[in-house]
Structure 1
Amino acid sequence: MSEPFTQAEIVAALGQTQEEVGAYFAGLAPGQFMHGNAETWSPAHHLHHLIVSNAPVGRALGLPRDRLPARIATQPSRSYPEMQALYRGALATGVKASGRFLPDPQGNQAELVAGYRQTLDALRVQVQGWNDADLDAYTLAHPALGLLSVREMLLFTLYHNAHHRVGVQNRTQMENA
């Protein structure tokens, strides 16, 4: 993926991510898709985690702006590579999903893939209603990364989706080797 930053680039990247991640998980063999448990997540667990992580971002962006905290800008919004580094740093400290972000995949592979695609459709629609200035003017709280500008949250979301796809791909390749 390139390094999206503008609203238009983020919308395009969300579409690309939806296609790539959705196609990858849809293309796994059903037994492989469900192979795992709460300790060693299956691809189904990873996909459900993305669903429950992406959906709140889309819902938040649909709220009236006056219900979101205004950002007191002490620095410009961070770039895609900076958000990657921030998230990798958090993971290195042992940060893990918890609470409502823990997966509990219900349904079959096709239903989970459809649910995943729907969350990114909804997110893309919401982002289209934002301009670049507002992406920097408002904040959303991330459970591990703290307050982020809306732009930073979207860049994190893009990376988070790619991170899980790559992780599942790597694990699947090792298991098949």
Structure 2
Amino acid sequence: MTTLPTPQTREELLQALAQMQGEVVTYFRKLSPEEFTRGSAEEWSPAHHLHHLTLSNAPLSQALQIPRDRLGRRGGGRASRSYLDIRDRYREALAGGARASGRYVPDPQADQATLVEEYAGATAAVRTALAGWTDADLDRFALTHPVLGELSVREMLLFTLYHNQHHLGGVKASLEQA
């Protein structure tokens, strides 16, 4: 997996998200059908991971399209945390037992090509919605993450970037061990 720079600005986030989408799409398209479906609900297959990423990205694109006056404002006036801070918080939550639940639990029913296209569409929609935001608004408004709680919009985007990298890395490691 390519090591991405740690983005800060809206433009850097857009670039990093596009690069990540390209890497994920390219990798999952190259898998054989057997590799793509190897797994179960307990031990996720690559198809499960990809569907989970689609389920995770889609609500973010919707949230980014909500009028700002209907979004929560961040309290406390603190600066948004960095990519590394968000990554570390998420890793701690996983180590503490956090797992996908509810609408984020994958159940991939479509074929490989369809799942890849659905993912590409969901991540492209995040970037399209992000294009209408200013850097200041990324820090001013908040969204609620199901595990990490309230995050600035910038922090949610940093989480999304890491989350995609995390799952891509997990799939690669799992298939290398097989």
What is aligned with 1:100? 103
Cα drift, residue 75 of structure 1: 1.9
Q: TM-score, normalised by structure 2?
A: 0.97
**1:79-124 CA distance string (max 9 Å, x none):** 1111110100110101000000000112100000000000111000
**Which of 165, 170, 175 is 2:168 aligned to?**
165
Amino acid at match of 2:110: G
Question: 128-137 or 69-78, which moves further after superposition?
Answer: 69-78
**1:4-45 CA distance string (max 9 Å, x none):** 010000000110011001111111111110111110100000
What is aligned with 1:147? 150
After TM superposition, list the pairs within 5 Å mapping 1:43-62 onto structure 2: 43-62=46-65
Runs of 4+ with deviation above 4 angstroms = none
> In 2, distance between residues paired with 1:90 and 1:74?
24
What is aligned with 1:124? 127
Could you list the runs of 5+ residues in structure 1 that have no partner in the other structure? none
Cα drift, residue 55 of structure 1: 0.4
> In 2, distance between residues paired with 1:75 and 1:140?
15
Q: TM-score, normalised by structure 1?
A: 0.97
Amino acid at match of 1:110: A
> In 2, distance between residues paired with 1:43 and 1:147?
29
> In 2, distance between residues paired with 1:69 and 1:15?
27
> In 2, distance between residues paired with 1:30 and 1:5?
37
What is aligned with 1:3? 6
Could you list the runs of 5+ residues in structure 2 that have no partner in the other structure? none
> In 2, distance between residues paired with 1:29 and 1:17?
21
Cα drift, residue 73 of structure 1: 3.4
> In 2, distance between residues paired with 1:21 and 1:87?
20
After TM superposition, list the pairs within 5 Å mapping 1:65-84 onto structure 2: 65-84=68-87
> In 1, distance between residues paired with 2:78 and 2:68?
21
What root-mean-square deviation, in Å, do the aligned CA atoms of Structure 1 and Structure 2 show? 0.7
> In 1, distance between residues paired with 2:10 and 2:16?
10
